[in-house]
């Protein structure tokens, strides 16, 4: 029998320790946290040469979220710039503020991609403590880094960044001016106003800047913009007028009316267009007649803008003038006049619009249907029924939709008849939906036939089926409520 001391003799003890170590290693491997192991593997994959793999690793780490943050912070010090750069990006996407200090530290990384992604992430994290370092980065030699810093400072909305960003705007970043100006708008500090106003004369950027100025308080902007209405540059004047689309200060109306007589057509057009946003009675009392007079302008675009505004302010006085424009040679003017008559919503206009259905331009006919629906007068139903046979499928489609909205049962039979011959998928779907809106036994029967037709377009058959379910559901509810 083996003695106990023999069992633990030197040779046996060595073997035993070896086996115990082996089992310890196995247990260690089995016991490793799989999430931790996956984070480690994915962080390593950030440096993969295959972009599909490295980017997929970023997405996966972002999915994992907070448990991946420590590993990513560590990766900011990796030797491989790709790993550092993607780790910086992933930290911003995860959104854990624990990463802020480490991201600030890599703002002086030798790789521009790392600086850019760290900058982006600091903006995403809302890291107020990063404002000063980010301002410093506005002097970076790399354009991508500078623009990323501008965006992040815009997101952080710290007024300290306004003047440095204004300097960048006046620098050599011509193609990125919109992005830089947007950052100033985001911050919303009044010190940016003068810089933004100076861009109103820019043909490309001016209209966008006009809308950006809408982000500031009216009293901060009003006086300065009014002064620009006297600018010698027509682009500046037109864009200054456009600012009032976003600041509808009633005090601007007399100035805008005055601009209807400006020498430059683009200014008159902008003034005519902008006046349509001032809809209060005391405002329209000042603008209605000047806008009607603008219908005589020599420039069709000015006329079109005036027509649109007369529609938006619902000017009944303009109806006879708009009727006259229904015969104009310019199709855009005819379309605008039809749209304006619809917006005004006076049934008096229906007869003019019915007569205008002879128009050869399908867009005019389509717009007439929209206006019929907006006016909501049932005397248009017969004309709309005749449009179910229009030569243009878009007109037929809109007419079917309009008949459904008007809700006149007279349209059921013509819609069913149209479905017998209509070939275009979307028109058929519109006709089916119109039948659903109109309802009634005939419509239901027609819809039922469509649901059973296996040679029908799928969307048409499905629409009919869905409508029937709704109708049957309502009927069941009615029966149960009466019983």
Partner 1 sequence: MKKSTLISISAALLILALGILWYYGSGADVKIVDMNASSVGVRESGKLDIVLQNNGSKPVDVWLEVENAFVDKNGEARSTSRLIISNDSVDPWDAKFVSLQKPIHLLPGNNSVSVWLGYELPGKYPVNVKVIENSRLLDEGTYLVQIPLPEIHLKLEYETESRNTSDIYRIYGYLINKGLGNALDVSTNLTVIDERTGELGFTSSRTYDVSNNDKVALWSWPDYPYAIVEIAHGEPSGKSYMPVQNVVIGESEDRFLINVTSTWKDQVASAELLIPPREESR
Residue 6 near partner 1 by CB under 8 A: yes
Task: Give the residue with the Cβ less far from partner 1, 64 or 200.
Answer: 64
Judged by CB under 8 A, does residue 19 bind partner 1? yes
Taking CB under 8 A as the criterion, the residue among 22, 53, 474, 477 binding partner 1 is 22
Binding mask 62-81 for partner 1 (x = CB under 8 A): -xxx----------------
Contact call for residue 38 and partner 1 (CB under 8 A): yes
Q: Which stretch binds partner 1 (CB under 8 A): 26-34, 93-101, 324-332, 468-476?
A: 26-34
Query: Which CB sits closer to partner 1, 268 or 365?
Result: 365
Closest distance of CB 97 from partner 1, Å: 21
- 3-class secondary structure per residue, the chain: CCCHHHHCCHHHHHHHHHHHHHHHHHHHHHHCCHHHHHHHHHHHHCCCCCHHHHHHHHHHHHHHCHHHHHHHHHHCCCCCHHHHHHHHHHHHHHCCHHHHHHHHHHHHCCCHHHHHHHHHHHHHCCCHHHHHHHHHHCCCCCHHHHHHHHHHHHHHCCHHHHHHHHHHHCCCCHHHHHHHHHHHHHHCCHHHHHHHHCCCCCCCCHHHHHHHHHHCCHHHHHHHHHHHCCCCCHHHHHHHHHHHHHCCCHHHHHHHHHHCCCCCHHHHHHHHHHHCCCCCHHHHHHHHHHHHHHCCCCCHHHHHHHHHHHHHCCCHHHHHHHHHHCCCCCHHHHHHHHHHHHHHCCHHHHHHHHHHHHCCCHHHHHHHHHHHHHHCCHHHHHHHHHHHHCCCHHHHHHHHHHHHHHCCHHHHHHHHHHHHHCCCHHHHHHHHHHHHHHCCHHHHHHHHHHHHCCCCCHHHHHHHHHHHHHHHHHHHHHHHHHC
Toward partner 1, which CB reaches closer, 52 or 481?
52
Q: Which one of 2-10, 126-134, 194-202, 264-272 is the stretch in contact with partner 1 (CB under 8 A)?
A: 2-10
**Complex with partner 1: residue 30 or 479, whichever CB lies closer:** 30
Q: Is 35 in the site for partner 1 (CB under 8 A)?
A: yes
The verdict on 60 binding partner 1 (CB under 8 A) reads yes
Q: Cβ of residue 6: shortest distance to partner 1, in angstroms?
A: 6
Report in angstroms how near the CB of residue 473 gets to partner 1 at its nearest.
17
Query: Which one among 27, 49, 50, 172 touches partner 1, defined by CB under 8 A?
Result: 27
Q: Which residues bind partner 1 (CB under 8 A)?
A: 2, 6-7, 12, 15-16, 19-20, 22-23, 26-27, 30-31, 33-35, 38, 42, 56, 59-61, 63-65, 391-393, 423-425, 454-459, 461
């Amino acid at each position: 029998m083996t003695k106990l001391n023999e069992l633990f003799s030197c040779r046996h003890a060595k073997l035993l320790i070896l086996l115990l170590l082996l089992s310890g290693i196995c247990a260690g491997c089995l016991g490793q946290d799989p999430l931790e192991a996956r984070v480690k593997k994915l962080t390593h994959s950030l440096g993969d040469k295959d972009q599909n793999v490295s980017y997929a690793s970023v997405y996966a780490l972002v999915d994992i979220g907070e448990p991946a943050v420590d590993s990513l912070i560590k990766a900011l010090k990796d030797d491989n710039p790709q790993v550092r750069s993607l780790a910086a990006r992933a930290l911003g996407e995860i959104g854990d503020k624990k990463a802020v200090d480490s991201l600030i530290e890599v703002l002086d990384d030798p790789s521009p991609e790392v600086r850019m992604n760290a900058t982006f992430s600091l903006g995403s994290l809302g890291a107020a403590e990063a404002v000063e370092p980010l301002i410093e980065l506005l002097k970076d030699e790399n354009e991508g880094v500078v623009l990323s810093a501008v965006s992040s400072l815009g997101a952080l909305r710290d007024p300290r960044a306004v003047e440095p960003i204004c300097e960048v705007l006046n620098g050599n970043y011509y193609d990125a001016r919109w992005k830089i100006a947007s950052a100033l708008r985001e911050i919303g500090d009044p010190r940016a106003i003068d810089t933004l106003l100076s861009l109103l004369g820019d043909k490309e950027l001016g209209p966008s800047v006009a809308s950006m100025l809408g982000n500031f308080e009216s009293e901060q902007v009003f006086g300065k913009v009014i002064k620009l209405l006297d600018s010698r540059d027509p682009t500046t004047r037109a864009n200054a007028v456009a600012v009032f689309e976003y600041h509808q200060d009633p005090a601007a109306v007399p100035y805008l009316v005055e601009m209807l007589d400006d020498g430059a057509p683009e200014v008159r057009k902008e003034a005519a267009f902008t006046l349509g946003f001032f809809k209060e009675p005391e405002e329209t009392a000042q603008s209605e007649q000047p806008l009607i007079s603008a219908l005589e302008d020599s420039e069709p675009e000015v006329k079109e803008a005036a027509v649109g505004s007369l529609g938006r302010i619902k000017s009944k006085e303009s109806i006879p003038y708009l009727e006259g424009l229904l015969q104009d040679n310019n199709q855009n003017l005819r379309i605008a006049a039809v749209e304006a008559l619809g917006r005004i919503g006076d049934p008096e206009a229906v007869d003019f619009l019915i007569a205008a259905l002879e128009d050869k331009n399908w867009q005019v006919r389509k717009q007439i249907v929209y206006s019929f629906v907006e006016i909501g007068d049932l005397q248009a139903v017969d004309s709309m029924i005749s449009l179910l046979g229009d030569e243009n499928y878009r007109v037929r489609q809109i007419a079917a939709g309009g008949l459904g909205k008007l809700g006149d049962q007279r349209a059921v039979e013509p819609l069913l008849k149209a479905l017998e011959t209509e070939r275009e998928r979307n028109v058929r779907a519109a006709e089916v939906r119109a039948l659903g809106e109109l309802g009634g036994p005939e419509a239901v029967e027609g819809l039922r036939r469509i649901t059973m037709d296996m040679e029908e377009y799928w969307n048409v058959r499905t629409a009919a089926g869905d409508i029937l379910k709704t109708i049957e559901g309502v009927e069941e509810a009615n029966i149960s409520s009466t019983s």
